[in-house]
A and B are shown apart, each in its own frame.
Chain A
Amino acid sequence: MSLTPVVMHSYLEAAVFVSFVVATLLGAIFAVASRRLVRCVCGLALSFMGLSGLYYYLQSPFLALMQILIYVGAICITIMFAMMLTDPQDQRLPRGRGMVLEAACLLVAGLMAVGLIVLICRAGWPVTSAPATPVDTFKELGRALLYRYGFAFEVMSVVLLLASLGALVVARGGRRAKP
């Protein structure tokens, strides 16, 4: 047998990695191409799951878990909720959306893809040696957010506050407008 255990180990790793990549891409395709809205959201959830797997491979388990908690557990469910409120027994989306529109979408997406691939190929990827001891990402992240990126953190919280206040204002108006 040519497959020595060590090689098999790296194959195992590669297989899991590839499965995450496939989940991400397949989910994204589902999210765009499916004609039923609920299936689109399911595709989105699958894509987020795959992405969280990729984060795990980038040695940030905290980010991976937060990805599941926030994107799958909150964002997808909120989208579902909005859909439930508007159209519980959903209709299928029409198949064609206009030739010109589809061609334009393909063009833009293709250009983006080519641009990104060129960028990735050209960029130098400095390989920093991995730290010998696993970094406690939890504490490091907290420290970074509150010291180094403190201003960005505060600005983001203001944005979120404004968004929730805006939602409240809109909801209030809706309630008053009712007979």
Chain B
Amino acid sequence: MIPQEIIWEVVRLTLYVVGLIAFAAFNAAYLSLAERKVPALFQLRYGPKEVGPYGLLQPVADGLKLMSKQLLVQDGTDVFLFKLAPVMVIVPAVMCLAVIPFSETVSARNISLGLLAVFSFSSVHVLGTMLGGWASYNKYASIAAARVVAQNIAYEIPLLLVVVALVMATHTCNLHEIVDQQAGAFWHWNVFRFQVSPLMPVSFLLFFICMLAEANRAPFDMYEAESELVAGAFTEYSGMGFGLFFIAEYANIVVGCSMATVLFLGGWHCPFGLLPGLHWFLIKLYVLCFCVIWVRWSFPRTQFYTLLNLSWKLLIPLAFINLVLTAVMLKIFG
């Protein structure tokens, strides 16, 4: 019977999305703790250690603080857009997470255009950040809004070019199928598929760099740049308004790292062909997240012109070379 099925499907999807929002919030909480603990390790200090054992309850305290703060709205702001912006940033991130297959069974919908869905939804969050910056009616926030747009336009192009080359090699946009093609040991992963394109590791690196820039992470965090722009687009946000941006930022990192895992690192498959499952996906995901934090604390922030030059003069030509090479290789050997 159709109706019963549909009701269950709606219930299942609702529960799954609630779970995903919880997952995003949990990641924001504990990745932000990692963000403080990991550099503490690099810089030979302790980091937060007062709240709970080893400071493990610090995110709870941070969350309580954010939630108990007043939401201030200044004069001159466009109130509607100001309040809409955090929502517009977080909803696309959750929608992306809904499409990503965490394991063979853990995914909301196995849709045939999953890859495209992730990239089209994730392109919306730029609009949200930009609106937040613009609606704040603050000079720092306006500069940040202009920056975030320029940066995201510049880095979306090489990102999509890399992905197009990958889709040419995999012949599908279905994320489940892409992962299944990489079953087995680690030399089946897309990063090491040299027979498709000898530039595959390079394209993984390109993807990772562009992902950092799309998620606005250091060294590309030009829109937040706390030493130049106070807090960039979030300057005027207080309490959970800021909190939502914060959750969205980490959710975007998780989406980016998940996509890198799915597209290049074999998804839920084990490097040695043993016991595939959710745990392998999470291990790969968090290793990549660690790399993201590692990069942030190892490299200084770039200048804005360097950032744009890097994309237009280096990454886009490289991505094009990769695309053409993949096409030629596929024509000859495919």
Contacts and interface: CB of A to CB of B under 8 A. Distances in A.
Contacts of A62: 113, 116
Given A5-B3, A77-B152, A84-B146, A69 B127 contact: no
Nearest to B7: A5
Interface string B136-155: 01000010011001101100
A26 interface: no
A72 B124 contact: yes
B123 A73 contact: yes
A66 to B, nearest CB: 7
A21 interface: no
Interface of B: 2-4, 6-7, 78, 81, 111-113, 116-117, 119-121, 123-124, 126-127, 130-131, 134-135, 137, 142, 145-146, 149-150, 152-153, 156, 173
Given A9-B6, A77-B153, A81-B149, A66 B116 contact: yes
Nearest to B118: A65
B123 A6 contact: no
B93 to A, nearest CB: 14
Given A9-B2, A62-B113, A72 B81 contact: no
Contact of B123 (A5, A36, A74): A74
A72 B152 CA distance: 13
Contacts of B3: 5-6, 8-9
Contacts of B2: 5-6, 9
Interface stretch (A38-46, A151-159, A170-178): A38-46
Given A72-B127, A81-B153, 5 more contacts: A5-B3, A9-B3, A39-B81, A69-B116, A81-B150
A131 to B, nearest CB: 15
B149 A80 contact: yes
Contacts of A80: 127, 130, 134, 149
Query: Chain A contact residues (Cβ within 8 angstroms of B): what range?
Result: 20 to 34
B130 A65 contact: no
A61 B124 CA distance: 17
Contacts of A134: 112
Contacts, number: 88
A138 B153 contact: no
A36 B135 CA distance: 11
A78 interface: yes
A84 B116 contact: no
A157 B112 CA distance: 27
A25 interface: no
Contact of A136 (B112, B123, B131, B150): B112
B150 A39 contact: no
Contact of A69 (B6, B112, B123, B131): B123
Given A45-B127, A80-B127, A89 B150 contact: no
B125 to A, nearest CB: 9
B116 A78 contact: no
B113 A61 contact: yes
Interface in A1-29: 5-6, 8-9, 12
Nearest to B133: A84
A134 B81 CA distance: 40
Nearest to A73: B123
Interface in A69-106: 69, 72-74, 76-78, 80-81, 84-85, 88-89
Contact of A72 (B6, B7, B123, B146): B123
A87 to B, nearest CB: 10
B167 to A, nearest CB: 9
A62 to B, nearest CB: 6
Nearest to B125: A73
B170 to A, nearest CB: 12
